[in-house]
Amino acid sequence: MKIVFFKNEAHFHPRISYCCDNAEFYLETKLTKYKNLLVFAFAVPLFIFVVVNYETFKSNRLLLLAVAFLSLPVHELCHALYCWIAGKKVERMCFFPYKQFVTKPIAYVKPAFDVWKKYQVVLFNLFPFIILSAVPSVLAIFCPPLRMWLLLISLLNLSTSVFDIVSVIHYLRFPKGLLYFLQFTLKVTDKEKPVTIHRIMVTPKLDKIYHNCFVYSENKLTQTENVYDTDETIILKQEFKEQFNME
């Protein structure tokens, strides 16, 4: 697993596009427009909590800084930890991947391309919330001397979990029988037949277009050597060439 700073997926693959045979993309419902509002809504309790209890934290400013600084990396490690529990590979962990801070995630974990079960996708997103917000809140009840610090950890993590929680709300509203890939969700057309997923991507040097094929059949995803073009892949490759001025 690689850990990278100030780089997002576009640095590794300026564009990745997918298309598939025997399935269509299941598009998310539009909760996204509330995301920015939610970022602020989730940060408000944290802000109020720190201001109201500043006297408690004032005597230990160094610890306050350390907790604030470590909350994001530990949050991302929790996502990676769930991948490990679920037996999924992690390709990389990216910190501060975008120039805009508020409206985009400030860090994320990128698991390798694979098919996931719905509960796994939900738990992948929810794992940091469980470990760093729910568990400390419960511990705070039983551990009065550390109560303020546990609540601080819980609220700090809550404010970094906005995008995860929005994703989980999306997933929970999805109907049964979909195929989950983290990058997208598929609705299979004919369940008796295999699904082929074409992945088209371009190298950072913009010198080569890669075309990979994955077959999902009998609950298993395998990358196949049998790479073939369809009307959609031909159109996609043409789009790539025009977008990146390739020969």
Q: Using the rule CB under 5 A, give the single segment among 5-13, 49-57, 94-102, 162-170 that binds Zn ion.
A: 162-170
Q: DSSP letters of 9-43? A: HHHH-S-EEEEEESEEE-PPPS-GGGHHHHHHHHH
Instruction: Give the nearer residue to Zn ion in terms of CB position, either 74 or 164.
Output: 164
Q: Using the rule CB under 5 A, give the single segment among 160-168, 201-209, 216-224, 238-246 that binds Zn ion.
A: 160-168
CB 217 within 8 A of CB 115: no
Q: Using the rule CB under 5 A, give the single segment among 13-21, 63-71, 158-166, 194-202 that binds Zn ion.
A: 158-166
Residues linked to residue 222 through DSSP beta bridges, in sequence order = 215
Q: Does 164 bind Zn ion (CB under 5 A)?
A: yes
**Closest of 154, 229, 152, 214 to residue 184, by C-alpha:** 214
Q: β-strand 179-180 against 185-188: which pairing, if any?
A: antiparallel
Contact positions with Zn ion (CB under 5 A) in 78-117: none
Give the count of residues interacting with Zn ion (CB under 5 A): 1
User: Which strands sit side by side in the sheet containing 23-25, from one edge to the other?
Assistant: 23-25, 185-188, 179-180
Instruction: Give the nearer residue to Zn ion in terms of CB position, either 98 or 244.
Output: 98
Q: How far is the CB of 128 from Zn ion (least distance, A)?
A: 5
Instruction: Give the nearer residue to Zn ion in terms of CB position, either 90 or 164.
Output: 164
Instruction: Give the nearer residue to Zn ion in terms of CB position, either 164 or 216.
Output: 164
Instruction: Give the nearer residue to Zn ion in terms of CB position, either 16 or 107.
Output: 107
Q: How far is the CB of 91 from Zn ion (least distance, A)?
A: 16
**Closest of 203, 211, 202 to residue 230, by C-alpha:** 211
Q: Which helix (H) or strand (E) holds 198?
A: strand 195-202
Interacting residue ranges for Zn ion, rule: CB under 5 A: 164
